[in-house]
C-alpha cells in the first residue's frame, strides 16, 4: 500500500467505437486462415473509430458516467495517457475537461510512452492523492491503434478508452507498493511524427515484451513484492490476447514453475474477454483487461491481482492491486457489455475507407458527418482547430 493511506481505483469505466471489423472479414479479404487470428493471436474482432470519433470522444464517453456518479468537486487533476495525440501542444484532456464541464481549478496534462503511459498516469494520480487524500484524480487512457493496410500489424488494431477515478479508500482496487520497473532502448514499435500508422518489428516486439516481463518481475521481487502463488489473476498489456498467454507462460517459466495450461488460463482467463473483441487499445489495453476481469470473474474480494504494463520503446512496470470488499455493487458490467455489443459490423470496403480517411490540412472548414452513437462527437475542423460537441 502507498504509505498508510489505501489509494487506488475508486471507479472504472470503458468506452469504445461505433464500428467493428471481424477477423473473419479481414481473413476473407486477404486470403488468410481465420484460425491464424482467432487461435493464433487470440483476436475475433477489432473496434474501428468512425470519422467523428477519436481519443477525445471515447475518453469523454468513458469519463462521463464517473463524473455523473461522484461529482467533480474533488477532481483537481486530469491525466490523459495516449500515443494517438490529436495535437502536438495542447493536452487532449482539456477537450474532455470542457465536454464534461469540469471546474477551472483543475490541472490537465497528457502523458506519452507508448502503451505504458496509462500506468504512468495511474502512478502519477496515486502520488497526488498520497500528497492530499482529499483530492481525486481522473486518469484517462485512450487510443486508436493503426497499422498499414496489408501489414502483419493490421490484425492487431483496435480502439478504446478507459477512465479511472483514483482516490483514497478506493471502492474497487487498492494499488500497492512496490512496483518493479524496467526500461531498455529498443526500437520494437514506434511512430515518427510524420506518420499516422505505427512501424513495428513484430518478432522483436514480442521478445522485448518478454524481456520486460523478466526485468520488472526481478525488480519487483528484489523490492519485496508478493510471491507468484499469492496472485489470483494477472492483467497483462494485451496487444493481442495471445500475448497475455505468452507472457504468463514466460513468467511461470522464469520463476521455475511448471507451465501448466490450466494454471495459465486460470490466471489470465477472464482478463481477455473484452480485448479479444476490441483489439489493441494501447494505453487502455491493460485496464480494459482489468474491467473484463472484474466484470466476468467470480468474487475476487481481497484477492491480489498482478499487473504487467508494457510500452514499446520500451518501458514496463509490474505492480499488485487488491480487490476491495463490496466492489461488485459498483461495477459497470452492463454498460461495458453494451458498449461492445452495440458496435455496428462493417465490411472490408467501409473499413478501408475509414482507414484511409484523413482531414485536409489547409485550415478550412470541414464538418464531419454524424456517425457515432456515443455521447460526444468530433463535429469538424475549422481554422486548424478540432471542434467537439455533445451528440
Ligand atoms: P504474423 O507474422 O502475421 O503472424 O505476425 P505469425 O505468422 O507470427 O502468426 C501468429 C501466430 O499465429 C503464431 O503463433 C502462429 O503459429 C499462429 P505463435 O508461434 O506466436 O504462438 N498461426 C496459427 N494458429 C492457428 N491456425 C493457423 C495459424 N497460422 C498461424 N492457421 C504479429 C503476428 C503479432 C507479430 C503481428 O500481428 C504484429 O506485428 N503485431 C503488432 C506488434 C505487436 O502487437 N507486438 C506485441 C508486443 S509489443 C506491444 O505489446 C506494444 C504495442 O502494444 C505498442 C505500444 O506499446 O504502444 C504493440
Domains in the chain: ranges and CATH: 7-390 (3.40.47.10)
For position 2, what pLDDT does the model report?
A: 43
Question: Is 235 tagged catalytic?
Answer: no
Cβ count within 10 A of residue 94 = 18
For position 4, what pLDDT does the model report?
A: 74
What DSSP state is assigned to residue 348? H
Q: Are 64 and 332 in contact (CB under 8 A)?
A: no
Q: Are 225 and 181 in contact (CB under 8 A)?
A: no
Query: What is the C-alpha R_g of the chain?
Result: 20
Per-residue cell: 35: 484460425
Is the C-beta atom of 72 inside 6 A of ligand 1?
no
Closest CA relative to residue 202, chosen from 248, 165, 154: 154
For position 1, what pLDDT does the model report?
A: 44
Tell me how far the alpha carbon of residue 276 lies from the centroid of ligand 1, in angstroms.
13
**CA distances, 353 to each of 147, 156, 252, 349 (Å):** 14, 18, 43, 6
The whole-angstrom separation of Cα 338 and Cα 191 is 32
The whole-angstrom separation of Cα 302 and Cα 172 is 10
| Atom of ligand 1 lying closest to residue 285 CA | 53
Is the C-beta atom of 153 inside 6 A of ligand 1?
yes
Tell me how far the alpha carbon of residue 56 lies from the centroid of ligand 1, in angstroms.
29
Q: Are 349 and 158 in contact (CB under 8 A)?
A: no
The whole-angstrom separation of Cα 15 and Cα 46 is 13
For position 20, what pLDDT does the model report?
A: 98
Q: How many residues does the chain have?
A: 391
Question: Is 255 tagged catalytic?
Answer: no
For the chain, residues with pLDDT lower than 70 are: 1-3
Q: Are 255 and 217 in contact (CB under 8 A)?
A: yes
The whole-angstrom separation of Cα 4 and Cα 330 is 24
3-state SS assignment for residue 32: coil
In degrees to the nearest 10, what's the CA dihedral of 368, 373, 375, 378? -10
Amino acid at each position: 500500500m502507498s504509505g498508510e493511506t489505501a489509494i487506488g481505483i475508486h471507479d472504472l469505466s470503458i468506452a469504445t467505437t461505433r464500428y467493428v471489423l471481424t477477423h473473419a472479414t479481414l481473413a476473407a479479404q486477404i486470403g488468410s486462415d481465420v484460425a491464424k487470428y482467432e487461435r493464433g493471436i487470440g483476436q475475433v474482432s477489432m473496434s474501428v473509430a468512425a470519422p467523428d470519433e477519436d481519443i477525445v470522444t471515447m475518453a469523454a464517453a468513458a469519463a462521463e458516467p464517473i463524473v455523473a456518479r461522484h461529482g467533480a468537486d474533488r477532481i483537481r487533476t486530469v491525466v490523459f495517457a495516449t500515443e494517438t495525440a490529436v495535437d502536438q501542444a495542447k493536452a487532449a484532456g482539456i477537450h474532455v475537461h470542457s465536454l464534461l464541464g469540469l471546474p477551472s481549478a483543475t490541472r490537465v496534462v497528457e502523458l506519452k510512452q507508448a502503451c505504458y503511459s496509462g500506468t504512468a498516469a495511474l502512478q502519477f494520480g496515486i502520488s497526488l492523492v498520497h500528497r492530499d487524500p482529499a483530492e481525486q484524480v481522473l486518469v484517462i487512457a485512450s487510443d486508436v491503434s493503426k497499422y498499414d493496410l496489408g501489414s502483419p500489424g493490421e490484425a492487431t488494431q483496435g480502439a478504446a478508452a478507459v477512465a479511472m477515478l483514483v482516490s483514497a479508500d478506493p471502492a474497487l482496487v487498492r494499488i500497492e507498493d512496490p512496483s518493479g520497473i524496467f526500461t531498455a532502448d529498443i526500437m520494437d514499435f514506434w511512430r515518427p511524427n510524420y506518420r499516422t500508422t505505427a512501424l513495428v518489428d513484430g518478432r522483436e516486439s514480442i521478445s522485448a515484451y518478454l524481456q520486460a516481463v523478466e526485468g520488472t518481475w526481478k525488480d519487483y521481487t528484489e523490492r519485496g513484492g508478493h510471491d507468484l502463488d499469492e496472485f489470483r489473476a494477472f492483467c497483462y498489456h494485451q496487444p493481442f490476447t495471445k500475448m497475455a498467454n505468452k507472457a504468463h507462460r514466460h513468467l511461470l517459466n522464469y520463476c521455475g514453475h511448471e507451465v501448466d495450461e490450466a494454471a495459465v488460463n486460470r490466471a489470465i482467463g477472464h482478463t481477455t474477454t473484452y480485448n479479444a473483441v476490441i483489439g489493441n487499445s494501447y494505453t487502455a489495453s491493460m485496464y480494459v483487461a482489468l474491467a473484463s476481469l472484474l466484470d466476468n470473474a467470480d468474487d475476487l474480494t481481497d484477492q491480489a491481482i498482478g499487473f504487467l504494463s508494457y510500452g514499446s520503446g520500451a518501458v514496463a512496470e509490474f505492480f499488485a492491486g487488491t480487490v476491495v470488499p463490496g466492489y461488485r455493487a459498483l461495477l459497470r458490467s452492463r454498460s461495458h457489455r453494451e458498449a461492445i455489443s452495440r458496435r455496428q459490423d462493417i465490411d472490408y470496403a467501409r473499413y478501408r475507407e475509414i482507414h484511409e480517411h484523413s482531414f485536409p490540412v489547409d485550415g478550412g472548414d470541414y464538418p464531419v458527418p454524424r456517425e457515432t452513437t456515443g455521447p460526444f462527437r468530433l463535429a469538424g475542423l475549422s481554422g486548424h482547430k478540432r471542434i467537439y460537441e455533445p451528440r
